[in-house]
Chains A and B, each alone.
Chain A
Amino acid sequence: MCPQPIIQFRRVSKVYHKGGADIHPLDEITLTIQEGDFVALMGPSGSGKTTLLNLLGGLDTPTSGEVIVCGQDLAALSSHERARWRCDHVAYVFQAYNLLPVLTAYQNVELPLTLMPLSRRQRREHALKALEIVGLSDRVHHRPDELSGGQEQRVAIARALASDPDLLLADEPTGDLDAHSAQEIMSLLIALNRDYGKTIIVVTHDPKVAHAAHRELHLEKGVLSRDVDMKNQRM
């Protein structure tokens, strides 16, 4: 369990130096997200969605401000400490699935568990359980190139679930999928949030995906332009 709120952004800015110019993908963002929330992060390309997601997962550090996730100020950690912290608290689901092609579905799911103090038997139990949750118990020994796009994304979700993270970050998880597979993945994410209480942040362009969330955050030019509570709207 993480202390509430699970995510706190305090006047977070990020500046990149590229081609001699300063780029501001995020500018003075302040927001809080509670544990168990399902948040859709929307906005046009270049609005700072992925940068915000990277800051949340400790893959990047802010230029200024504080990013506090699960009670930890991520900017205060070294690269090595952030990697360990990520392993314990966060899991990613990417648009391009990002499975390792040399590993089977089971081995991909088991991979983050090898960083944890678990026995081989425990790792096996966790990995098989995660694959069962995403409905791929019959594809355990298949390699990514033997799976459909939807199945690959489900393996990626199983990999994210296996380590029982506090926070699941998904960067356009349905972006590369057909409508049917996209619907399946969204149903899966909704179930994970509803049945397992996982806090989920999804970057998406798809309004249908966003509607499944409890809350919609809209970014424009690095600024939080809209924060919509979808639960109240549905009522």
Chain B
Amino acid sequence: MRLLLLNLLRKPLRTLLTVFGVGVALFLFCFLEIVLAAFNAGVNMADASRLVVQHKESIIFELPMAYRSLIEQAEGVTGVTTASWFGGLSQEPLADGEKREEFFAQFATDIERYLSLYPEIKVPPDQLRNLLSDRMGCLLGVKIAERLNKKVGDRLVLRSTIWTQKNGSTIWEFNVRALYTTDSPTFDQTMMLIHDKRFDEARQFGQGSVGLYILGITDPERSAEISAAIDARFANSPYETRTMTEKAFNLQFVGMIGNFQFLLRSIGSAVVLTMLLVSANTMMMSARERTREMGILKAIGFTDGHVFLLLIGEALAISLLGALAGVGLAWLLANALHYNPKPDFFPIFYLPGQSMLAAVGLAALTGLLSGIVPATAGMRLSATESLRSV
């Protein structure tokens, strides 16, 4: 072990640069994973016990509010709520003092029913009471509240890009009555919920309709059966439905981005692979320079296995140090310092645990692949041959 460590320190600058190379490559890998996870955040927060009912043709068409009681009657359904996209932009100075229109997700819904379907959302009971008793009230995720510099009791003004009020104004005012948190790292904390009754009464058009229905079911394994039953119930009506799992619903939005994810992953992977190959080459060179020393070790009694382990251990140590640096920095940035380059575009921005494991695995694989050639050569090298080498 000591020899391994001392060999790493033999040319400290080279070791440092190699570790840096692996570290940068894995930092890029992790950052790419963070971005991809952000794209897929909606999919990851989906629960198998929730279904979404939308218009059969497209999400942009609304469904009648009267469907709710009919959907509730379907077998296996435990609860139903509505959700209509509000499409508002904030109109007030943000936390950084700058005044700009801020985009985030807002839904008009039956908040009480919504919360019963989303146990991930945690709201303090006193705030919830106030929220439910104020028709102008709204529920904000703590992250968006922080970004908008809002606290409970504040007023929030939005300009809707879709909905006009009966008085002709697109400006809507709300009272911030409650803030929600969540224990789930994948659940969006930048949403806003408003009361559907007030929304429906105040809007100029679209009364009596909703964007979609969200429902809870007793048995996730019966989701296909329940979905088919609901869609059959409204078949051949003016408003036919398409019912799907929440995950499938959210995947529609990811699909809208098209092959961008593939493109991003391809470019990122090529960069990461190139950097890892360069680092691997340096590690192999370092081992090849010490052929004679392998002979010395064998002459004093080290076995072929010892030599193999020493060389592969050096390559692994460099790679894993790089992983520690690269993954550690990415984790620090996204998970500890909560850095988010585009919070309105990426409501969730964190490094998933499985991506960290994948990065460490990639580092170990790089170490093994770059170490296996010199280590095998060192193991097979005859002591007499290597002692003759200059």
- Residues of chain A touching chain B, judged by Cβ–Cβ distance below 8 Å, are 54, 57, 59-60, 79-80, 83-84, 86-88, 91-92, 94, 98, 100-103, 107, 111-112, 115, 159, 163
Decide yes or no whether B303 CB sits under 8 A from chain A.
yes
Tell me whether A87 and B384 are in contact in the complex, defined as CB-CB below 8 angstroms, given that A101-B10, A102-B3, A103-B6 are known contacts: no
| Other-chain contact of B302, A54, A83, A88, A159 (Cβ < 8 Å) | A83
CB distance from B308 to the nearest CB of A (A): 11
A54 contacts across to B, CB distance below 8 A: 383-384
List 11 other contacts, CB 8 Å, given A102-B3, A115-B302, A159-B300: A54-B383, A79-B303, A80-B305, A83-B298, A86-B300, A94-B296, A94-B299, A98-B292, A102-B7, A102-B10, A115-B301
Q: Are B387 and A94 in contact (CB under 8 A)?
A: yes
Nearest opposing residue in chain A for B2, CB measure: A107
Tell me whether A60 and B301 are in contact in the complex, defined as CB-CB below 8 angstroms, given that A100-B296, A102-B3, A102-B9 are known contacts: no
Q: Are A111 and B383 in contact (CB under 8 A)?
A: no
Q: Are B7 and A83 in contact (CB under 8 A)?
A: no
What is the interface size of chain B, counting residues whose CB is below 8 A from a CB of the partner?
A: 22
A-B contact count (CB 8 A): 62
Decide yes or no whether B382 CB sits under 8 A from chain A.
yes
Decide yes or no whether B293 CB sits under 8 A from chain A.
yes
Query: Which of B3, B298, B299, B300 counts the most chain A CB atoms within 10 A?
Result: B300
Q: Could you write out 30 A-B pairs with CB less than 8 Å apart? A: A54-B384, A57-B299, A59-B298, A59-B299, A59-B382, A59-B383, A59-B384, A79-B303, A80-B304, A83-B298, A83-B301, A83-B304, A83-B306, A84-B303, A87-B301, A87-B302, A91-B300, A94-B296, A94-B387, A100-B293, A100-B296, A101-B10, A102-B7, A107-B2, A107-B6, A111-B3, A111-B300, A112-B300, A112-B301, A159-B300
Provide the B46-82 mask, 1 if CB < 8 A to any CB of A, else 0. Answer: 0000000000000000000000000000000000000
A159 contacts across to B, CB distance below 8 A: 300
A102 contacts across to B, CB distance below 8 A: 3, 6-7, 9-10
Q: Are A98 and B387 in contact (CB under 8 A)?
A: yes
User: Considering the complex, which residues of chain B in the window 121-152 have a beta carbon less than 8 Å from any beta carbon of chain A?
Assistant: none
A107 contacts across to B, CB distance below 8 A: 2, 6
User: Considering the complex, which residues of chain B in the window 331-390 have a beta carbon less than 8 Å from any beta carbon of chain A?
Assistant: 382-384, 387
Q: Are A87 and B300 in contact (CB under 8 A)?
A: yes
A92 to B387, CA, bound (A): 12
A79 to B380, CA, bound (A): 10
A124 to B383, CA, bound (A): 27
CB distance from A175 to the nearest CB of B (A): 14
A101 to B296, CA, bound (A): 12
B384 contacts across to A, CB distance below 8 A: 54, 59-60
User: Considering the complex, which residues of chain B in the window 264-306 have a beta carbon less than 8 Å from any beta carbon of chain A?
Assistant: 292-293, 296, 298-306
Tell me whether A86 and B299 are in contact in the complex, defined as CB-CB below 8 angstroms, given that A98-B387, A102-B9 are known contacts: yes
Nearest opposing residue in chain B for A171, CB measure: B387
B10 contacts across to A, CB distance below 8 A: 101-102
A127 to B7, CA, bound (A): 21
Query: Which of A84, A100, A115 counts the most chain B CB atoms within 10 A?
Result: A100
Q: Are B300 and A92 in contact (CB under 8 A)?
A: yes
